[in-house]
Amino acid sequence: MTDAAAIDAIQVTVGQGSRIGLTISLAVMIFSVALTLKPEDFAFLGRRPKMFLGGLSTQIIGLPLMSIGLAHLLAPTPSIAFGMIVVACCPGGNVSNLLVLMARGNAAYSVSLTAASSALAFIVTPIAILGWSSLYPPTAELIRSVDVDMLPFVLQTGMALGFPLAIGMLMSTFRPKWAALIQPFVYALAICILILLVAVGIWSNWELLLASSYLIAPVAIIHNASAFALGALMGRMLSLDNGSRRALAFEIGIQNAGLGLVILLTQFPTLGGAAAVVGFWSLWHLAAGMILAGGFRLWDRYSRSARV
């Protein structure tokens, strides 16, 4: 079996106990995000609707569309392509807000886009994963081969995301002090559960993943770089100011890959290759984001010194 075929053949063994743990992790993860969402986070919709909707459309439509185009260009194995699509269908990651602050971007715009994509994730993410996957023949065939029932998948994933999202947003709105108090602990719990379960999966498939890293890493790195570039390009097309263009670049380049990984492990455990791609992305996009933020700060310093 070739390395490419071996990637598509990876299966992550998920027992009943692990499946329950992953489902709890998913609920806790979304709950921790929802605890940070406040009505004022969506104020950009009223103040700058073109700016808000343009950025959100880039997140929900532009990134998956670009990912399919990149899959046609790079022609990765079906499971790797599916992992690319899953990442692209996830909401923005909260760490993007921190990176935007580091890069001296428009933090309020970043928070608004993260909040909106997270609030819509319970319905957009499961439908988008199946919808966009069906438009790329190799992933469409892959989904048919694992016999995924569309309606149960959408309903199960939607409910797993929707209930904790609603409870967290209600608490954040009506009991903001409680939300602020428990959010750091809830977030830490979700991360600990996820790290433990993922570590077990990596340990079980370590040799195969190590041997196949030369196929996974380049695709994930190119995909992530293209996402940052898409955000920056759309910022120019929307005629945004410099700080807002930086914010949009981070919003598109930093995805909630942890959410995508849990969805894959709970709903598509036989597609371990896709999980490997998303797992690599979840580590790489943080490193790439830090490098990009540092680059922006160096550019600002150079620009100021050049004007003196």
Could you read off the pLDDT of 5-47 as tens digits, one per residue? Answer: 556 555 555 555 556 666 777 777 778 777 877 777 777 777 8
* pLDDT-flagged residues of the chain (< 50): 1-2
Q: Is 228 within 8 Å of 253 (Cβ atoms)? A: yes
Nearest to 227 by CA among 78, 106, 65, 26: 65
* DSSP helix/strand/coil, 286: helix
CA angle 208, 287, 277 (to 5 degrees): 30
| pTM of the predicted protein model | 0.83
Tokens 């990912």 correspond to 67
3-state secondary structure of 92: strand
Q: For residues 231 and 58, what is the distance between their CA atoms, to the nearest angstrom? A: 7
Dihedral of CA 153/158/159/165: which sign?
Answer: positive
For residue 287 the two structure tokens come to: 């490193």
Percent of the chain as helix, strand, coil, to the nearest 5 = 85, 0, 15
- The type of residue at 201 is G
Radius of gyration of the chain, Cα coordinates, nearest whole angstrom: 19
Which alpha helices (H) appear in 35-77, and where do they start and end?
43-47, 49-57, 63-74
The per-residue pLDDT for 2 is 47
- Residue ranges of domains in the chain, CATH in brackets: 15-300 (1.20.1530.20)
| Angstrom distance (rounded) from CA 226 to CA 193 | 30
Rounded-to-integer distance, Cα 3 and Cα 116, Å: 39
Per-residue pLDDT of 227-258, as tens digits, reads: 999 999 999 999 999 999 999 999 999 998 87
